[in-house]
Amino acid sequence: MNFKFSPKRARTAHADGAAFRISRLWAHDGAAENEISHLVDRTYPYRSARELRWHLAERFGLPVESVRLSRA
């Protein structure tokens, strides 16, 4: 599944290494694109796009290799 996300940079450096939070998130299947921001925790401090990819796979019950990410 393809996801496009709009990151929101952390205002200050965090001790845990957080780089961004999700501002908005969309899923698309080639024919349609739907905003799904409400389906994920946008307050979680992601350290990398790779970590976001793993979280999306877990959240939607998908194999990690089938999750593709791009930035908006």
pLDDT in tens, 50-71: 999 999 999 999 999 999 999 9
Q: How many CB atoms lie within 10 A of CB 29?
A: 9
Distance CA 23, CA 62 (A): 22
Name the pLDDT band for 6 (thresholds 50, 70, 90): very high
Residue 62 CA: distances (Å) to CA of 8, 11, 49, 54: 25, 32, 16, 9
pTM given for the model: 0.83
Q: Which two tokens stand for residue 46?
A: 């992601």
Residue 64 CA: distances (Å) to CA of 8, 54, 60, 69: 23, 6, 10, 11
